[in-house]
Homo-oligomer: A and B are copies of this chain.
């Protein structure tokens, strides 16, 4: 059976009962009927892992208690049963060992962000992917929204002229109080340096903001001036991020991200100001993109309407006015990965599939590292290489 005539098979590492993002990955992968879950190691606790797998109707012999068993088992299976890729949705500290092991074993990977803890790990992973020539997607899921892709196309094709200024902001309120002290599982690991890494809000949502900015504008960060805060009582990692940035060509940018903004839900917004127009997108109204052209009335572009670019249109499932959301955007990342994997199964090397790659993940890790460096510096600007 050729790859074109069957669903792709994947395994999941992490994402057991009570986890948030694993379930999102599964729904995203299932949505379009292109991908099926066939194996898993859903928790670092073997009992919980297996119980979680039974919830998902997994076959007993592919429902593993740890990711090492999953990997070993897959390597023993014949190609026609073997997974086409693995999805890694564990807390951050496990991204690196799991991803490295699966890449080294020749598997394609989808990994959540931030990719890994250190630039060294990131570089090792980039090297491994290049060596193995595998597919490696990073779920910077916000780039999966059709109107983000429309925005990218408009910025890069010059519809708003030269980029002059960028503001990206990401406000949440869920860490406004010390929820980690009352047993919120996600808050617990996200505020724990051992699991989350040295960056708190910076790693969790600041990295999304960086990727969105970079993905849409294509401009690298050249210099950073950071003021990070830790406002939650008893917390050690940052929960409030304030950055002045200089992008390639001296373009000024402001990046603010915070998880202590009471009442803010998932308020990610990107504004790009060009010499002949402005674009403004908000994640909470993801089907809308404001375009303010110089000297004309503001225009509200909507997902699914006529005249959008191919990348936006291809990422769209429903007509205008029929809301798509977070899962659909997430699913677009999976569709991009699947396109690349199918191409390889068919013997070609797809390069146009639209999803964030291991290099994007690595760039995010470098960025986090440089922001932390700036936050400890008294110099206004910390330069990026």
Q: Which residues of B contact A160 (CB under 8 A)?
A: 262
Chain A interfacial residues counted at CB < 8 A: 89
What's the nearest-Cβ distance from chain B to residue A71, in Å?
23
Q: Is the CB of B225 within 8 A of A263?
A: no
A113-121, A126-134, A253-261, A340-348 - interface stretch? A253-261
Among A266-310, those with CB < 8 Å from B are 266-267, 271, 273-278, 283-286, 291-302, 305-307
What's the nearest-Cβ distance from chain B to residue A374, in Å?
8
Q: Is the CB of A54 within 8 A of B5?
A: yes
Q: How many copies does the complex hold?
A: 4
Q: Is the CB of A278 within 8 A of B26?
A: no
Q: Which residues of B contact A328 (CB under 8 A)?
A: 325, 327
A183 within 8 A of B: no
Among A314-342, those with CB < 8 Å from B are 317-328
What's the nearest-Cβ distance from chain B to residue A211, in Å?
17
Q: Is the CB of A37 within 8 A of B33?
A: yes
Q: Is the CB of A295 within 8 A of B302?
A: no
Known A-B contacts A5-B57, A225-B244, A327-B328; A322 and B254 likewise in contact (beta carbons under 8 Å): no
> Which residue of chain B is the closest to A320 with respect to CB atoms?
B265
Q: Which residues of B contact A301 (CB under 8 A)?
A: 297
State in angstroms the CA–CA spacing of A174 and B295 once bound together.
10
Q: Is the CB of B31 within 8 A of A327?
A: yes
State in angstroms the CA–CA spacing of A242 and B247 once bound together.
14
State in angstroms the CA–CA spacing of A254 and B286 once bound together.
25
Contact of A227 among B244, B263, B293, B379 (CB under 8 A): B244
A23 within 8 A of B: yes
State in angstroms the CA–CA spacing of A213 and B136 once bound together.
46
Q: Which residues of B contact A353 (CB under 8 A)?
A: none
Known A-B contacts A295-B306, A299-B297; A266 and B320 likewise in contact (beta carbons under 8 Å): yes
Can you name 11 A-B residue pairings with CB atoms under 8 Å? Answer: A30-B33, A164-B240, A225-B227, A227-B252, A242-B254, A264-B292, A297-B299, A297-B307, A324-B327, A325-B325, A378-B379
